[in-house]
Amino acid sequence: MSALSGQIALVTGASKGIGAAVAKALAAAGAHVVITARDTKGLEAVEEAIFQAGGGATIAPVDLADADGIARLAAAVTERWKKLDVLVHCAAVLPELTSVRDIDQTQFSKALTLNVLATQALIARFDPLLKASEDPRFVHLTTSVASDPRAYWGAYAASKAAAENLVSCYAEEARNTSKVRVAIVDPGATRTAMRAKAYPGEDPASVKPPEAVAERLLTLLGEQFSSPHRERVNLSS
């Protein structure tokens, strides 16, 4: 319980899937975890699981598509803790898989708002808090289609590619001006609701559980990785 003792971590998309697993892993390692997502009931379940395991967490229901909500969250973390040691950005939305020609503009706009604009807003609001930490780390979850385009994935791929480039630029800007270290991690095929939506005929047991990704991220956070660090989590189920 001492690896991250005394550290404050923020996990987005923490009500389910990889985000929930990461939050539980960070809390088990001793961090106090601020968990955020839109689903309050999901967050409460994760918080309860963390408490039952002896960890500490604070729920913060926020729609990351609302820039003012991100600002309020940052203000609350500033008031209570004055710093942020770890930010793991898991939240993302998968629009309908369709040809580029047939992309629904409303869905595309939602994907760009959450996957891109929210990522920039998180960096803008939490960079000062990260810089107040002695060992600040920012982990951004990406996807293989951000760099390896695939038919019918255009809307999601474009939004995640834009987000990945934003985070990469942030890493370059922070490299010589702060202690912030940035990691961009592709979790690979993982048993999540988003994966089930994209591959409805797939046997969930054929891909690794979210806990496997969380375990790797926890190990990574304990390493002195150089920034920007990139990797794909390739683990058996």
Query: If you write DSSP's letter for every residue of 50-86 in order, what string do you get?
Result: HHHTT-EEEEEE--TT-HHHHHHHHHHHHHHHS--SE
Q: Which residues contact 87 (CB under 8 A, 6 or more apart)?
A: 9, 10, 12, 122, 126, 130, 137, 138, 139
CATH label of the domain that carries residue 18: 3.40.50.720
Give 185: exposed, middle or buried? Use CB within 10 Å, 0-12, 13-18, 19+.
buried
Look at residue 204 and tell me if it is in a domain.
yes
Residue-range definition of the domain harbouring residue 109: 8-232
Look at residue 191 and tell me if it is in a domain.
yes
Look at residue 46 and tell me if it is in a domain.
yes
Look at residue 237 and tell me if it is in a domain.
no
3-state secondary structure string across 134-147: CCCEEEEECCHHHC
Look at residue 199 and tell me if it is in a domain.
yes
pLDDT at 234: 86
What's the CA gap between 86 and 139, in Å, rounded?
A: 8
pLDDT at 145: 96
Longest dimension (CA), the chain: 52
What's the CA gap between 205 and 80, in Å, rounded?
A: 41
- pLDDT tens per residue, range 22-71: 999 999 999 999 999 999 999 999 999 999 999 999 999 999 999 999 99
Look at residue 96 and tell me if it is in a domain.
yes
Length, in residues, of the chain: 237
pLDDT profile of the chain (237 residues), mean per 10: 88 98 98 97 98 98 96 98 98 97 98 98 98 98 96 98 98 94 97 95 95 97 94 76
Look at residue 189 and tell me if it is in a domain.
yes
Residue 53 and residue 59 in contact, taking contact as beta carbons nearer than 8 Å: no
Return left, alpha or beta for 76; rule: phi > 0 is left, psi -120 to 50 is alpha, else beta: alpha
CA 37 distance to own-chain centroid = 11
Q: How many domains does the chain have?
A: 1
- pTM of the predicted model as reported, rounded to 2 decimal places: 0.96
The closest of 105, 227, 142 to 177, measured between CA atoms, is 227
pLDDT at 1: 45
The closest of 97, 25, 79, 92 to 57, measured between CA atoms, is 25
pLDDT at 3: 87
Look at residue 1 and tell me if it is in a domain.
no
Cα distance between the two ends of the chain: 26
231: β partners: 185
What's the CA gap between 117 and 45, in Å, rounded?
A: 28
What's the CA gap between 64 and 169, in Å, rounded?
A: 21
